Structure 1
Amino acid sequence: MPFVFRTAAVFLAVALLAPSGRAADAPKPNIVLIVADDLGCFELGCYGQTKIKTPHIDKLAQGGAKFTRFYSGSPVCAPSRCVLMTGKHSGHATVRNNVEAKPEGQFPIRAEDVTVADALKAHGYATGAMGKWGLGMFDTAGSPLKHGFDLFFGYNCQRHAHSHYPTYIYRNDKRVELKGNDGKTGKQFTQDLFEEEALGFIEANKAKPFFLYLPFTVPHVAVQVPEDSLNEYKGQLGDDPAYDGKKGYQPHPAPHAGYAAMVTRMDRSVGRVVEKLNALGLEKNTLVLFTSDNGPTHNVGGADSSFFNSAGKLRGLKGSVYEGGIRVPFIAYQPGTIKAGTESDAPLYFPDVLPTLCAFAGTKAPSAIDGISFLPLLKGEKQPTHDFLYWEFSGYGGQQAVIEGEWKAVRQALGMGGVKTELYNLAKDPSEKEDVAAKNPAVLARLEKRLKNEHTPNSNFPLQTIDPKK
């Protein structure tokens, strides 16, 4: 589907939903937000993938709405999740890079940061998270238990999540030992544990409104998966040379088969969550969202984005603010409400999720956020568009990007303190192959002003493209 761009003064009238209103006495709707880890936009069948089987996620897209120009909050894990949870773009958000804490955890969000779970819990929702948090250990202000979640089950620390067979995970702030696991293999695969916990959460809260956040850790490397799933792909993907472990993480005898199997096993979990909703009669009163935290893995740990065409024709991978690093799949599903088989190219991104879910639940979003609700678009009503979309990432020397209409500027810190701003016309050049900055000085100047104005200094995450070195 070709890209369609609008200015801020024009409205998108995309009929994704059969217009319908919720009666005042109707039960509050449930929300399930599923976030894959490092899943490329084109690693799903519904986005054109031909080697990896994802029948359950494909079914959500067929029965709901698929977005083709949805963007993450950042090109890497922690800052992207911070944007998702708080509705602030990465120039205003608390966490702007992956910064490790010792002995375990990452740089925490602040006590005053209001998350999706905070807002929904205050509105009477039961809240649960199963998967990877990455925004602060339990003894910090960033603990998920201090940010609206009644129940947390999984990894708090992102480094810990690099193994799908860890020796322990957490239930709330208590360690749960996983017998039979040694970090490299074992009997308890965490994707399966998250699935089981999610089904139990739904069962326990079937009589009340709930928000279920499922930040799964698949398919982030290491490549690890139970044998029964691996066997589905062994010998099915042609030559599959063993990965020797020299690019990090652990070796694997059949990395292509292993990676595909990880995605398919996650897809199975998505299917079982939806089946559970249907079995309890909750499917029509539950909004299910599926996305990924950033672009596909940059070919470490046995991952092979070229083999799977993970980023399609987009430039860049995880860690880059080019399209391939921040464009992600996004699917919205609610049978009987969202019109089946709809596709939207509306440019939206992670800051928009919080205000959308608040509007969907019937409560006000926190103030001072950067996102806009796309609930009007889902309801077939006129949808205001963003003036611009903005990203910054303090890693890899410092990167910024801004999209305004058909134009995208990318600013990067170079060696020896130099900085370069590139300009691309996404309508003509979606693969960002031709830098047209020299041909469009007025557009370049306007977008460079955006890049400067949207960045707020953060001493914890200095940005070398703007902040002077100290």
Structure 2
Amino acid sequence: MKKLFTTLLLSGCLATGYAQQPPNIIVFLVDDMGWMDNSVPFSGTMQPLNHRFHTPNMERLAAKGVLFSNAYATPVCTPSRVSLMTGMNAAHHGVTNWTSPNRNNNTDNPDSTFAPAPWNINGLTTRKGDSAAVYATTYPELLKAAGYYTVHVGKAHWGPMGTPGSNPVNFGFLVNISGHSAGHPQSYLSEEAYGNLPGKNTVQAVPDLEEYYHTGTFLTEALTREAIKAIAYPISRKQPFYLNLAHYAVHVPLMGDPRFLKKYQDAGLDPQEAKYASMIEGMDKSLGDIMDYLEEQHIAQNTIIIFMSDNGGLSLHPPRGGEAHTQNLPLRAGKGAVYEGGIREPMIVSGPLVNTPGSVCKQPVIIEDFFPTILEMAGVKSYHTVQQTDGRSFVPLLRQPATVDDQRILVWHYPDKWIPGDGPGINYRSALRQGKWKLVYSMRDGSKELYDLSTDIGEQHNLAAKNPTKVKELAKLLSNQLRQWNAPMPILKATGTPAPMPDGQQ
């Protein structure tokens, strides 16, 4: 059921009360989209994979805004989404892996060496004292209190069924369309009622879209139409709005978007890759439809759009169950990894704060930066949160995209097991980036890798042996930060103690 609350604005601060209309803000969030899964040259030059995809509306957005070539999320979805909502790093909020639809269910795969880390398996909550969950103030709550009409459309995945995290309304959204506890759709097809079929498991079925059943409307298109209908209301009232358009695309199950599939089949792509490419283009059409609507309503000049993905593309080596369908080259690995292919994301920001349309920002930013950024964009200068936030506003980068801060550290922490098997793989790793240097730490064997991303974006040349002083320095920075945040660590079965920190200490 759609949750629509039209008794608005607990603060009594209507848009008409502002001296100047605050900007509308849209976060356009894509699921599992890799850095290379588009026709925008985020690396600076067109790469082979860029030629495979057709995303003219991403190109259009980049021409109007700032392209961030070093934008980061976390290795998997729920940690990114909780970081976005709370402004906290995943090591800090403790939701380090994806949450199950079922409460108190640890999604880590079993391991012969480690018992699971004590991470917050019940996700994000609004209630102090909820077990295995992070209690935090979200920025949609603060936007609503400041007079914004807040809308969520699409994937939520902040917590299991029966917890506050399963319902976006609990986090400050006046409207929720199709957001619940599931991390992917049961089906993208209206002919399958988006998974709502009698006698079938409907835990992952997409709610709220009954009017589109059996109409031939692909899920991405249905959500786009609903988003446009939802924001028509505040536009008619001349009230600023925040739209969280969080597509289920392009997460598995792979289902070709019939509007675009044939051209990729005709181009000779592998059947799975053709389906994936068609889903990418369907997502891009959604972006274009939103941009067109803003222009038709004459509000495009006062609307900020932030385009982002929640983690890297699904690129498993070897593939698991035939699921892998994309690459991230020249980046290493993909979803689930703290290597660049799992965390570096396509990010573009357009709107009235951009001084130089078509510019590129190389300064590294990370998903928890969205929290203070969006509040600054909205003009919300004074607010209280129950949590200590970690993000830094990137509004100054929109005005001066050439700014460089090579002292800031970015941290990724994945003390979990996503891929089955006991090999080195991509599980149980942390990473830190400072300037051009990136350290990767394996909790399984204590090894450390050092990469110079300015010359080795693919992380192919481990420089740890040649630079022991830099390794020690970065390992200490990473360890200190993880301790400060009380980051969860996997438990060694042999001793019952947490795995050592990167500096070798507990």
Aligned to 2:95: 95
Give a deviation string over 1:319-360, Cα, whole Å, max 9, x none: 000111100010011168442210111111111111111111
SS in 2 for 1:59: helix
> Percent identity among equivalent residues?
30
Q: Is residue 361 of structure 2 the alignment partner of residue 326 of structure 1?
A: no
When the two chains are superposed, the root-mean-square deviation of aligned CA atoms in Å is 3.1
2:255 matched to which residue of 1? 224
User: Take 2:300 and 2:321, find their aligned partners in 1: how far apart are those partners?
Assistant: 37
Q: Decide whether aligned partners of structure 1 residues 458 and 110 sit closer, same or farther in structure 2, where only a CA change above 3 A counts.
A: farther
> After superposition, what is the alpha-carbon deviation per residue over 1:217-252, rounded to whole angstroms, capped at 9, x for unaligned?
11111111342322232212x253xxxxxxxxxxxx
Structure 2 distance, partners of 1:440, 1:161, is: 46
Query: How much does 1:29 deviate?
Result: 0.6
Moved more, 457-466 or 76-85: 457-466
> Could you list the per-position Cα deviations for residues 108-133 of structure 1 after superposition, in whole angstroms to 9, with x for gaps in the alignment?
21223122212211211111111111
Q: Name the structure 1 match of 2:36.
A: 42
2:397 aligns to what SS in structure 1? helix
Partner of 2:125: 110
Residue pairs, 1:61-460, within 5 angstroms? 61-72=62-73, 74-102=74-102, 107-111=122-126, 112-137=135-160, 139-142=162-165, 143-165=167-189, 166-168=194-196, 175-176=207-208, 178=210, 187-206=216-235, 207-236=238-267, 238=268, 240=270, 254-299=271-316, 300=320, 310-334=327-351, 337-364=354-381, 368-380=388-400, 385=405, 387-396=408-417, 397-414=427-444, 418-456=445-483
Amino acid at match of 1:424: Y
Where does residue 108 of structure 2 map in the other structure?
none
Equivalents in 1 of 2:59, 2:356: separation in Å?
15
Shift of 1:99: 3.2
Does the residue aligned with 2:99 lie in a helix, a strand or coil?
coil
Cα deviation 1:173-198 (Å, max 9, x = unaligned)? x95474896xxx98443211210111
- The 1-side partners of 2:196 and 2:486 are apart by 34
Q: How far apart in 1 are the matches of 2:461 and 2:378?
A: 43
* Whole-angstrom distance in 2 between the partners of 1:227 and 1:108: 35
Equivalent residue for 1:31? 25
What's the secondary structure of 1:80's corresponding residue?
helix
CA distance in structure 1 between the partners assigned to 2:151 and 2:490 by the alignment: 34
**Mean Cα displacement is larger for which, 265-274 or 388-397?**
388-397
Q: Secondary structure at the match of 2:307?
A: strand
Structure 2 residue runs of 5 or longer lacking an equivalent are 1-17, 106-120, 127-134, 418-426, 501-506
| Structure 1 residue 303, shift from structure 2 partner | 5.5
Matched residues, number: 421
1:95–1:108: 8 Å Cα contact kept in structure 2?
yes
Q: Name the CA distance, whole Å, in 1 between partners of 2:68 and 2:487.
A: 34
Q: CA deviation at 1:63?
A: 1.6
C-alpha separation between the residues in 2 aligned to 1:387 and 1:134?
Answer: 29
Q: Could you tell me how far apart the structure 2 residues matched to 1:145 and 1:180 are?
A: 23
Alpha-carbon spacing, 1:275–1:123, altered in 2? closer, same or farther (3 Å): same
| Aligned partner letter, 2:137 | V
Q: TM-score, normalised by structure 2?
A: 0.76
Task: Mark the CA change 1:328 to 1:273 in structure 2 (over 3 Å): closer, same or farther.
Answer: same
TM-score (norm 1): 0.82
Q: CA distance change for structure 1 residues 381 and 366 in 2, over 3 Å: closer, same or farther?
A: farther
Amino acid at match of 1:134: H
**1:168, 1:177 within 8 Å by CA — same for their partners in 2?**
no
Contact 1:68 1:330 in 2 (8 A): yes
- Provide, for residues 421-465 of structure 1, a one-character-per-residue CA deviation record: whole Å limited to 9, x for no partner: 211122232221122222222211121112222225999954459
Name the structure, 1 or 2, with higher relative contact order (CA <8 Å, separation 6+).
1
- Cα gap change, 1:192 to 1:462, in 2 (>3 Å): same
SS for the counterpart of 1:228 is: coil
Contact kept? 2:144, 2:172, Cα under 8 Å: yes
Q: Which amino acid aligns with 1:167?
A: G
Counterparts in 2 of 1:180 and 1:406: CA distance versus 1, 3 Å: closer
